[in-house]
A and B are shown apart, each in its own frame.
Chain A
Amino acid sequence: MNGFYVVFSPFNFMLMVVGILLGVIIGVLPGLGGANGVAILLPLTFSMSPTSAIIMLSCIYWGALFGGAITSILFNIPGEPWSVATTFDGHPMAQKGKADEALTGAFTSSFVGAIVAVIMITFLAPLVAKFALKFGPAEFFAVQFLTFASFIGMGKGSAFKTLASMSLGFALASVGLDTVTGQLRMTFGITELLTGFKFLTAVIGLFGIGEILASMESGLAFSGAHAKLRLNAVLETWKKMPAYYVTFIRSCIVGCWMGVTPGGATPASFMSYGLAKRFSKNGDRFGKGELEGVIAPETAAHAAGTSALLPMLTLGIPGSPTAAVLLGGLLIWGLQPGPLLFIEQPDFVWGLIASMYLGNLVGLVIVLTCVPLFAAILRVPFSIIAPIIMVICAVGAYTINNAMFDVWMMVGFGVIAYAFNKLSYPLPPFVLALVLGDMAESSFRQAMLLSQGSVTIFWSNGLVGFIMTLGLVLLLWPMISWVLDKVRAPKPA
């Protein structure tokens, strides 16, 4: 393995550690996502060798994947879009005083997801690349449909409220340019709405500001304040984790699949959370602080984030926004991503793959060491920490597009979240529709163009038919299980 030899040079190892630390910081700050971070630092790497440059930049990416979970768990503010699903159970755990356990769980499962994805890249790259080629618009829609379907029934309240929440998300997702007709929709001549509602702005407002409003109402008591500091929390949590091996396996499959196709880390984390809730014994306790509800999205997000580099390297299509920026970097360094990269630049490719193993290992050690430190932040009184969070949120929202409009939008979304909370409408379906609605609509309409309006395209081959049918079964599962119960009930026990 020549690749490890490349990575083990002291200079490259130093770049790796620097990259991870920068990445964690980037991941913690909402708004300053991995893609922005890599884009900002890209010009600095032009004087390095391509291998050193990609090691540093990909380590920023791993760091951001790790870091996104920290604020999700501590403050209910997802640092990155793929950490949204981590807030569902991670933050309730922190409120129960189990922040250290949630953080350890999140970091460890991130690591597991990444390593599984790297192993897949190492041994199955050519095979997996061929699989990605099978994905046309119909297949993409089927996957997105499956994500929605696996999420139905997420709401604790009425199904109609879930539906209303999701529909509002779809409505907001449709604002901006319609890629299929090239027309602007619902922008009402407002320049700021041309980009549509940005997912990150919405998420910072809905989760960050919404949470602060809720805490203020409950008498300024930040419920995480009684967080105990346990130095052995990491080991304690590790003892619990093997019990969730099924969730790990399922989430790795979902993550790798979504990263390769390329669906992205965000849908992967949602789908994995939805599936875990559906199939777990403790499914009904999800959302109240289940470790399993942290493991599922984190494993899938990191597996997807890592495997998203595979289609970039082998096909030249980026599986995530960060991968897109890295792709630009490859071209500037004089490398041509594509099917021949593995043959023509073996040093580069294997150096990168080796850095995936080591980078994630180094990252895990770094973030785990800091678990007690992160958890201790919760002991700061709410009246001090709340204004700081507000400022971080506002800076984050501003950073996304350097626009003050986004900050006001964030405040608006915070108010929406408060109203949702009071009227007990669930937020997750709204967020899911906002992030996936646009893509799902495009894929559906592209598929309809290809088939000239016939829905049979969704069953036109085994792959798409299987995913679609799986989605329908999941969607109708509550009804199916109700019918099954009815059939079984009359029988004497």
Chain B
Amino acid sequence: MIGHASKSLKVVGFAAGVLAGALLATPAMAQAWQPTKAVTFVIPAGTGGGADQMARFVQGVVTKHNLMNQPMVVINKAGGAGAEGFLDMKASPRDPHKIIITLSNLFTTPLATGSPFNWKDLTPVAMLALDQFVLWVNAEAPYKTAAEYINAVKAGNDRQFKMGGTGSKQEDQIITAALERLTGGKKFTYVPFAGGGAVAVQLVGKHVDSTVNNPLEAVAQWRAGALRPLCIFDTQRSTYKDKVTTDMAWSDIPTCKESGVNTDYQMLRGVFTTQGVTPAQVNYYVELFKKVMATPDWKDFMEKGAFNQTFMTGDQYKNWVAANETLHRDLMKEAGFLATN
């Protein structure tokens, strides 16, 4: 056993020297539990989306740097806006070999569809990052700032402006509803599409007037000069200062608040496991994700998607999730998105 453990430590250390510090800081006792079979990483969303990309990326990093003694298997359970994946987790309590990556549908799906699950049916492991939202318009549109665009919506006819987004009664439409508080009673026509990439292309093709795509979903079109970011839905600007286009970095996008559009919203990219697992088992995953996050690959990935790098575990994470659930309930109640039953 001891020989095996030191061998795997050696491999890890060899594969990623940068991890040495993290490993030294980890007391050997914390590694008391190890998976005894393959770990299933559930994605409550379809292939190709943001959660899918992140989970598959984690799997890739784990494999490349040999961070686990057992394989990690990624599986998509996207049915019913993610309910399929969450109900699957709920149905297997005390199974430490199952983890799930979450997006806002952890809150929105039960609220909007009445699917019988709640984050309390899961055990929080760690917040990996917060995903940002940016208000985008076509580069040929006349609006240079968020305020100009919102004023145009105000001055236009009701439902004249079309907002494209991913899914229905989920994060994109919630942000749209939040924006409608500032448009003097004028509504957007919200058009739901199946995936974020498709939404960005609909905006490039001028089939909609604006979107609230995640950075990763729209960055390619932005760099090609087809889209223009108006503001980022965060309380402060992005910290990434490297130029993305010829003249702009993520940090050059003003926050919506400083553009006079007082709205912010971020999406959880976090990991949960099943209910009733032991603290040692949770700790194993916390340490695993710390190792993943220490790799240069992860840092590149974060920068590419302009993620807000906030890492949380334990009670801090739990409290954040609880507060975020309340926020979603309030926002969705106000917008009239709650399930009727």
Contact = CB atoms under 8 A, between A and B. Distances in A.
A43 B59 contact: yes
Nearest to B79: A195
The bracket for how many chain A residues form the interface is 35 or more
B50 to A, nearest CB: 10
A51 B48 CA distance: 20
Contacts of A327: 48, 197
A337 B53 contact: no
B127 interface: no
A325 B55 CA distance: 12
A295 B78 CA distance: 35
A191 B79 CA distance: 9
Contacts of A328: 47-48, 52-53, 56-57
Nearest to A44: B63
Contacts of A42: 56, 60
B197 A176 contact: no
A339 B191 contact: no
Contact of B170 (A133, A182, A325, A341): A182
User: Residue among A39, A182, A195 with the most chain B CB within 10 A?
Assistant: A182
A195 B60 CA distance: 27
A193 to B, nearest CB: 8
A177 B113 contact: yes
Given A177-B113, A194-B80, A194-B84, A318 B64 contact: no
Interface stretch (B216-224, B278-286, B318-326): B216-224
Contacts of A195: 78-80, 84
Contacts of A44: 63
B223 A338 contact: yes
A106 B88 CA distance: 41
B220 A338 contact: yes
A317 interface: yes
Contacts of A331: 53, 57, 216, 301, 304
Contacts of B337: 182
A317 B217 CA distance: 9
Interface in B65-99: 74-75, 77-81, 83-84, 87, 91
Nearest to A35: B47
Interface stretch (A61-69, A206-214, A228-236, A442-450): A442-450
B205 A196 contact: no
A367 to B, nearest CB: 27
B47 A324 contact: yes
Given A182-B112, A316-B197, A339-B221, A47 B167 contact: no
A452 B159 contact: yes
A325 B197 contact: no
B109 to A, nearest CB: 9
Interface string A190-228: 010011100000000000000000000000000000000
A349 interface: no
Interface string A340-358: 1100000000000000000
Given A43-B63, A181-B168, A339-B224, A315 B201 contact: yes
B221 A180 contact: no
A183 interface: yes
Nearest to A448: B191
A179 interface: yes
A182 B169 contact: yes
B207 A179 contact: no
A134 interface: yes
B215 to A, nearest CB: 12
Contacts of B169: 181-182
Contacts of B220: 315-316, 336-341
B201 A133 contact: yes
User: Residue among A194, A337, A401, A452 with the most chain B CB within 10 A?
Assistant: A194
Contacts of A181: 168-169
A137 B205 CA distance: 11
B80 A325 contact: no
B189 interface: yes
Contacts of A39: 47, 56, 74
6 contacts: A177-B113, A191-B91, A194-B115, A331-B53, A338-B221, A450-B189
Interface of A: 35, 39, 42-44, 46-47, 132-137, 176-184, 187, 191, 194-196, 311, 315-318, 321, 324-325, 327-328, 331-332, 334, 336-341, 401-402, 442, 446, 449-450, 452
Which 4 residue pairs are nearest across A and B when measured between Cβ atoms? Answer: A338-B220, A195-B79, A182-B168, A324-B48
Interface of B: 46-48, 52-53, 56-57, 59-60, 63-64, 74-75, 77-81, 83-84, 87, 91, 112-115, 159, 162, 167-170, 173, 189-195, 197-198, 200-202, 204-205, 207-208, 216, 219-221, 223-224, 226, 300-301, 304, 337
Given A195-B79, A321-B47, 10 more contacts: A184-B115, A194-B84, A195-B84, A311-B201, A315-B204, A315-B220, A321-B48, A331-B304, A339-B220, A339-B226
